[in-house]
Amino acid sequence: MATQSSFITSLVTSLIVFLVLWLVYAILSRRPGNAVIYYPLRVLRGEDGPTVAKRRGGAFAWVREAFKAKEDDIVATAGLDAAVYMHLFTAAFQIILISAIFCLPILLSLAGTSNYNQQQRMMDGNFTYTNIDNLGMGNIEPQSSKIWAFMLGMFWVSLATYYVLWKSYRRVVYMRDRANANAAARPQQYTVLVRDIPKPVGKESRTDQIVNFFARVHPGVFSRVQPVHDIKPAGKIFSDREDALRKLEHAEGVWEISKQKGDGAGQRPMHKTGFMGLLGPKVDSIDYWRAKSQEMNPQLEAEQRHTLQEMQQAAAFVIFSDRRSAAEASQVVHAPHALRWRVSQAPEPEEVVWKNLHIPAWQRAIRRGVVAVLTFLLIVFYMIPISFVASLTTLENLEELLPFIRSITRISVLGNIIQAYLPQLALILFLALLPHILILLSRLEGFPAQSQIVRSASAKYFYFVIFNVFLGVTIFGAVFSNLSSFQVLLDQSNLSVSRVVQLLGSKLPPVASYFITYVALRFFVGYGLELSRIIPFIIFHLKRKFKCKTDREVREAWAPGAFKYHKSVASDMLILTITLCYAVIAPLILIFAAAYFGLGWLVMRNQALNVHVPDFESHGSFWPHIHNRVLAALFVAQITAIGYFGIKEFPFSPFLIVLPILTVVFYMFCKKNYYPSIKVVSLYVAADVPKAQPSAESIAHTYTPVPLQEGHPGIVDRRSNLATKIDSTVNAVV
């Protein structure tokens, strides 16, 4: 029973790691100097870091605070996107809880009192099973009438999912509409993005062309045009100047610090101007960078003038005199050939991807096709290096490769730990590389807004984990053994739908305990790291010690960054997919899944309230993405069940076909009823009159990219413009 003991070892070590990390958090977060690591959001919002850190008492304070916080607090502090992300945890937790009410008491006891595994062992000496396997549906005799209860369980889980998703979608639509209606007016509510503007006829300038068009089709409510320019050359000069200004600031900081030592006169920093600062004449850094940055000022001004006059692109922001008209215009076909003058809601100014705006529709379509093919290849062939490394990392292989390891693995506890974690660690390391590639691919697709890029990357990541982790472990059985079984599968030319159903049903149950270990690892270690922020903590202190010389550099060193939705949502959805697939087949997983989403809910709320700063606010546009993937997970679970119930020779298993049909109907209903309210702003909501209204000039200014802004100080804080960001988010949503 080696598997069982490694299973328990894995759980226990995960728990220990988590408790250690919790302890680390409890100790470190109370030290005032660490406030910028553990409460950066509060510090940015103007609270005094040390006071916040001191006020907290006991290791459970954060739990209490996260638990007590209202949804409105989350919206006010972290924005609607974060609140919607929290809602994923709420919804998953609710689904699991309702499922558990039926599955844990009834199905576990039914499975526990059966002994089919034992029977099979008596028939076939090679058959192995663990005590955990005895608590799953595998232990039920085929054709037994007990299977009725499991079938009922499948219906129960499905209905619970529909119910929770339905309530959640309503809630998200409500929150979004409330934010859109009564909130203080925001620039994007008055603005639409126009792309694919045709070439102007004759000598008409682009601006005139756009103004004439909109004055004709939106008489009375059209207010102002803010054309989009090619900012590449101006951006280049701007960032060169920014680089010089940063180096100037750094050199001044170094001088300032040197004054505090010795006689107070300090020592002006020097550097060589040649390759890597190693060659060339030595110069005074402050003088050098000041001169450099100043000589670029007239260059930038000239380039700005040139850009504004000559480099208009086939896109523009059009500003309306009221929110209703902008909302209406963004939903309407403007030109007889609909691929021209394409109008859509303007993204929030901060999340505009300036480089993508001018890409014409046909090119966006081609880019999307190419990226889809690349993503497909990436997903399918990423398995090859993973499985290669994974095959090295099974203990036996490692012992062959590196014989000295044997001395370690002889100690049984250590051997078990390594056996339990090695494959998972290999997987997790490889997965860490991926999100950056996916974000890059999504950016190439030509989306106008950062939030769309993140959503698209998240979708790709979801496909990746489903294919490579979920299907990889189950159907292909290849990731952690070898590629041969995958090849066998591909060689079977008659790969059909019924075959996939059968495969899912037969291959999923045996790996239940593997997935339970996976979930446990993810929540204990993952949330432990997230909560304790060990890595940012170390990086910050290293940077502050050796690199940071100015206030700006320190600020950027502790800047907490935003939630990485494109990574986290897909991972969470993988856990939920696994949970839904096993909820009935191996109900024990519900306990671990509840822990994952329960703990996740607490930790993420803490991070939303205290740590992460949103990069952008898309007003919960993420929810349909999450909703659809939960439904897809449920669909896979239902298909798996059909396969597995068939293997159990249960004569009534065809009844289960109702479930995938129900899922499709529910999907269509939500898409028709709720999705439009996320995609666009309904007229009823947009017709609400705000208290105050921004001027068209101020809106046009927010839609000017930084390199074209006159009188900009010249340095943009890295990892987003934190201070202004917080203010605008808070004002907008409260």
Provide, rounded to whole angstroms, the least separation between the CB of residue 76 and a copy of itself.
22
Residues that bind a copy of itself (CB under 8 A): 173-174, 177, 213, 216-219, 324, 327-329, 331-339, 341, 361-362, 365, 494, 496, 668-669, 672-677, 680, 682-685, 687
Question: Which CB contacts under 8 angstroms, 24+ apart, belong to 265-274?
Answer: none
* Contact criterion met (CB below 8 Å) for 645 and 653: yes
Torsion sign over Cα 567, 167, 95, 476: negative
**Residue recorded with tokens 């100037």:** 248
* Helix intervals (H) in 648-674: 658-673
Select from 335, 371, 337, 378 the least CA-distant residue to 356: 371
Of 218 and 443, nearer to a copy of itself (C-beta) is: 218
Of 32 and 676, nearer to a copy of itself (C-beta) is: 676
Of 218 and 619, nearer to a copy of itself (C-beta) is: 218
Select from 355, 349, 715, 676 the least CA-distant residue to 555: 715
Provide, rounded to whole angstroms, the least separation between the CB of residue 171 and a copy of itself.
12
Of 463 and 666, nearer to a copy of itself (C-beta) is: 666
Provide, rounded to whole angstroms, the least separation between the CB of residue 674 and a copy of itself.
7
* Contact criterion met (CB below 8 Å) for 409 and 399: yes
Rounded to the nearest 10°, the torsion over CA 101, 102, 104, 109 is 140
Provide, rounded to whole angstroms, the least separation between the CB of residue 503 and a copy of itself.
15
Of 117 and 677, nearer to a copy of itself (C-beta) is: 677
Select from 462, 460, 419 the least CA-distant residue to 443: 460
Of 163 and 362, nearer to a copy of itself (C-beta) is: 362
Provide, rounded to whole angstroms, the least separation between the CB of residue 493 and a copy of itself.
8
Which residues make Cβ contacts (< 8 Å) with residue 96, sequence separation at least 6?
579, 583, 590, 593, 594, 597
Of 367 and 719, nearer to a copy of itself (C-beta) is: 367
* Helix intervals (H) in 450-496: 450-464, 484-491
**CA 151 – CA 678 distance, rounded (Å):** 35
* Contact criterion met (CB below 8 Å) for 298 and 173: no
Provide, rounded to whole angstroms, the least separation between the CB of residue 724 and a copy of itself.
31
Provide, rounded to whole angstroms, the least separation between the CB of residue 495 and a copy of itself.
9
Of 70 and 672, nearer to a copy of itself (C-beta) is: 672
Residues in a beta bridge with 449:
352
Which residues make Cβ contacts (< 8 Å) with residue 436, sequence separation at least 6?
none
Of 216 and 410, nearer to a copy of itself (C-beta) is: 216
Of 181 and 389, nearer to a copy of itself (C-beta) is: 181
Provide, rounded to whole angstroms, the least separation between the CB of residue 362 and a copy of itself.
8
* Helix intervals (H) in 311-360: 323-329
* Contact criterion met (CB below 8 Å) for 701 and 539: no
Of 42 and 342, nearer to a copy of itself (C-beta) is: 342
**CA 99 – CA 730 distance, rounded (Å):** 37
Two tokens, residue 263: 């006689």
Provide, rounded to whole angstroms, the least separation between the CB of residue 80 and a copy of itself.
15
Which residues make Cβ contacts (< 8 Å) with residue 34, sequence separation at least 6?
28, 53, 537
**Residue recorded with tokens 């670029």:** 296
Of 56 and 368, nearer to a copy of itself (C-beta) is: 368
Provide, rounded to whole angstroms, the least separation between the CB of residue 683 and a copy of itself.
4
Provide, rounded to whole angstroms, the least separation between the CB of residue 252 and a copy of itself.
54
Of 16 and 332, nearer to a copy of itself (C-beta) is: 332
Provide, rounded to whole angstroms, the least separation between the CB of residue 415 and a copy of itself.
47
The two counts, helices (H) then strands (E), for the chain are 34, 6
Q: How far is CA 527 from the centre of its chain?
A: 15
Residues in a beta bridge with 284:
270
Torsion sign over Cα 199, 201, 207, 212: negative
Select from 356, 349, 343 the least CA-distant residue to 197: 343
Provide, rounded to whole angstroms, the least separation between the CB of residue 212 and a copy of itself.
11
**Residue recorded with tokens 């490889």:** 430
* Helix intervals (H) in 79-196: 80-102, 108-112, 116-123, 147-181
Of 151 and 503, nearer to a copy of itself (C-beta) is: 503
Two tokens, residue 482: 């070898």
Provide, rounded to whole angstroms, the least separation between the CB of residue 327 and a copy of itself.
8
